[in-house]
A and B are shown apart, each in its own frame.
Chain A
């Protein structure tokens, strides 16, 4: 029958329902906006959920100061277009200590992202934060609820998750506790790409192949995005046709060599690839197989 909804229509309806439930039940919601493609889809869904009103919550960018320049540009543009407030938070302690991805390794993520996020949520008193994580990304995320509770110290207890039946979400919490909410939990990487294509969702141009200055380091193809990139002896900046499957801090995000310059070509490459998208992320490889689970227990998104 013609009125059978497609998988994308069902996923969209589910995400919009989740966004509205949080707005109806939380006191101070916020959307964590990382400027990546998943954030782009989540922001678009929020605009749909509350149209013709602008989404009734601000965007929060927990900035590490090491994102790609193109990301900062799109971030500011999308804040303008959506009519939402953009809050940018940089951990002052990390700034004072000059924490950077070249010299501090795992401490960089911990201070700028994990600690920065906790500080920002506490400073503004947000009790619900939307995130663009998907269950197909990583094995501990596959087991995380859509409404994921965090203690007052932001910890996640994987063994004590609230049962989540039907589409009934229990948003009740004690003072100081907060919820991380993942409206696109049930989307796959392909779903996200198709949705971007069908809805003309603006994304950072770095997802498309172009000639960019690169360095190969520790088996990763890194882009030299600004002058802060220190070259090691023997390294040379080489221009290559590259693109990114995932975006984070530029010194920690591996590119792939590619000529996919259109959305169709990007999707084509995604479908034919044989490695997972988070493969280019240094963060997942910490602490053995349970890297993400441990980070989440400490308060990482």
Chain B
């Protein structure tokens, strides 16, 4: 049944290896993913492709035969799934958990297959595999037709921008190679595809197990005129051609500066073509220059295209460093700091609206906050649903705001300049992936109002160094008490101060906020912004908030000039604070009538390196206040402490 002649001509290898190699060195490369559930025969299909293209060797086959008898699900037949399920846990459970990358080649192309798990709980792994794919093979069990997971996989592939979709109706041998079964499934799929915007797909009737229509047209399906799967994979037009014709984009990865005479900018060309003499513009600065050389170890190039890693030299000494984007001078990308974006959530901990994350796009890394999602999409029904956050594997649309302007293109125009990942600042995990739609405002239009009376002038008039004394600790730890005493003493010493207290702020500025995790983040963000304005006015600001999350405290630290944020950890053990229970809140929290109470059913992340730590079991509030005032006014010989 299987015709393996498409893969490699053994005779040619044996007779004229140089002719063979010459042929193979000019091959192109196609990356594709296979999606389907456990039972759709996905792993069997990949095993078949590898086996037929001689990518499985005798020793591996021998091991596979042994394993098939021990763990396989195909009786005495070889279970190809065991070949691709590489992790011990997967083999034990008989499911695919993570993306596996497999390789095979034909005379015309090298293929990289990302074998993706089908379960909804592994959507993040599927999105990982899809992000680098040129084509997707969506498998359908001929006996079952279009299922929920078929829709989910198709939707994800389409959203991630895969232009070539292959609908492989598998297990045709089990439905007697019946054309009407195939036609009905294709019609069902077309109706669905239309509804989500997939305009083109190629449908094939196959049997991965028996090898029908994989490498050659099968005699079992005389009604099918082709192409066979491998032939189709070999002939699909690659996106690289279109990418080379688009305007130049090259994110700068690294500045190459071996000596004073050479300064080159290294990167992978995301789109377009570049030649010496081309006019280029560096974003976000907008400075222009001309390319003088394209430098490689093998000699200078006359031309480089999308997909190549190169080093460019310019005619002028303009500022250009990692994170900048080199673009065609007459067709530059946009620069903005607020966007609408599709987000896919990849982490067990849900999105925290308002929390500051790292966003990495190309070689740019900036801080970003995500607004409450406009909607999430039910990936099984394509319905849009209202949502307050995004949980693991959820897909939604939300506005995002970066702290610095971002050079970007819409994802549909350029994957490199439109696709990004979100990184949690504390755990460092990759928690989300996103695709930019468009900017909501151009950064160019948002100017800081230039002020004639500067913050330094405000501070000078008050004869003091502005600062924020940020008291953090559990409810009842003594923050407000100590902060009050510190303010009184500073006031007495002639300093201009202001105390922002948690309870007071919640009666006014933040009375619209509750105590959910995202409301608490917004509460702290607003307090931080107010405190910052007050330091601009030259004041010494004292704040007394539980502020339970390290990420928000760090965010406020990063908003202020170095040394102006002084974190004071009022360290009182939970038992002690609860025993005091000045406001009776712990009692309510324990009884369940007060939800999300820090220390009881909401976490407190203690500062790891606060500037000052107060242990209230060893110091009285008076002693602590005296020590704090001494430290910040320089009365104590602590050289690390910035003085006010």
Contact = CB atoms under 8 A, between A and B. Distances in A.
Contacts of B296: 48, 51
Nearest to B307: A5
A267 B421 contact: no
B100 interface: yes
Contact of A142 (B27, B88, B101, B241): B101
Contact of B254 (A7, A24, A47, A158): A24
Given A17-B309, A24-B322, A159 B97 contact: yes
B103 A48 contact: no
Nearest to B269: A13
A275 B429 contact: no
B182 to A, nearest CB: 32
A290 B88 contact: yes
B14 A143 contact: no
Nearest to A279: B59
B305 A3 contact: yes
Given A13-B268, A139-B83, A165-B131, A3 B241 contact: yes
A163 B127 contact: yes
A267 B21 contact: yes
Contact of B103 (A6, A9, A23, A135): A135
A168 interface: yes
Interface string B1-43: 0000000101001100110110011111100000000000000
Q: Tell which of A5, A11, A279 has the most Cβ of chain B within 10 Å.
A: A5
Contacts of B27: 6-7
B103 A136 contact: yes
B95 interface: no
A167 to B, nearest CB: 7
Contacts of B285: none
Interface string A144-158: 000000000000001
B13 A276 contact: no
Interface stretch (A121-129, A190-198, A222-230): A190-198
Q: Tell which of B87, B264, B298 has the most Cβ of chain A within 10 Å.
A: B87
Q: Dominant SS at the B interface? A: mixed
A228 B180 CA distance: 72
Contacts of B151: none
A1 B242 CA distance: 10
B305 A166 contact: no
Given A6-B27, A267-B21, A289-B91, A165 B103 contact: no
Contacts of B254: 20, 23-24, 50
Contacts of A141: 86
A245 to B, nearest CB: 11
A274 interface: yes
Interface stretch (B105-113, B164-172, B382-390, B624-632): B105-113
Contact of A268 (B13, B25, B84, B112): B13
Contacts of B98: 143, 158-159, 161
B360 A9 contact: no
B2 to A, nearest CB: 17
A102 B109 CA distance: 45
Contacts of B88: 289-290, 293-294
B25 A1 contact: no
Interface string A167-178: 110101110000
A159 B117 CA distance: 13
Interface string B130-174: 011000000000000000000000000000000000000000000
Contact of A49 (B58, B87, B266, B430): B266
B240 interface: yes
A63 interface: no
B239 to A, nearest CB: 10
Contacts of A275: 57-59
Nearest to B266: A20
Interface in B394-431: 415-416, 419-421, 423, 428-430
A272 interface: yes
Contacts of A168: 360-362, 419-421
A65 to B, nearest CB: 29
A276 B58 CA distance: 7
B253 interface: yes
B419 A194 contact: no
B493 interface: no
B253 A20 contact: yes
B240 A4 contact: yes
Q: Tell which of A162, A163, A264 has the most Cβ of chain B within 10 Å.
A: A163
Contacts of B59: 275-276, 279
Contacts of B346: 163
B238 interface: yes
B21 A264 contact: yes
Contact of A167 (B100, B268, B423): B268
Contact of B124 (A5, A159, A163, A194): A163
A264 B362 CA distance: 39
B86 A139 contact: yes
B315 interface: no
Contacts of A8: 25
B428 A170 contact: yes
A173 B25 contact: no
A5 B18 contact: no
Contacts of A272: 10, 13-14
Interface string B261-287: 010101110000100000000000000
A10 B58 contact: no
Interface of B: 8, 10, 13-14, 17-18, 20-21, 24-29, 55, 57-60, 63, 67, 83-84, 86-89, 91, 97-103, 105, 109-110, 112, 124-125, 127-128, 131-132, 238, 240-241, 244, 253-254, 256-258, 262, 264, 266-268, 273, 295-298, 305, 307-309, 311, 322, 346, 358, 360-363, 415-416, 419-421, 423, 428-430, 433
29 contacts: A3-B240, A3-B273, A3-B305, A5-B240, A6-B29, A12-B309, A17-B309, A48-B297, A50-B254, A51-B297, A52-B258, A140-B86, A142-B86, A143-B86, A143-B99, A163-B433, A165-B419, A165-B430, A167-B132, A170-B423, A190-B24, A264-B18, A265-B17, A268-B17, A271-B17, A271-B20, A272-B10, A290-B88, A293-B88
The 4 closest A-B pairs by CB, nearest first: A139-B86, A7-B29, A16-B309, A7-B110
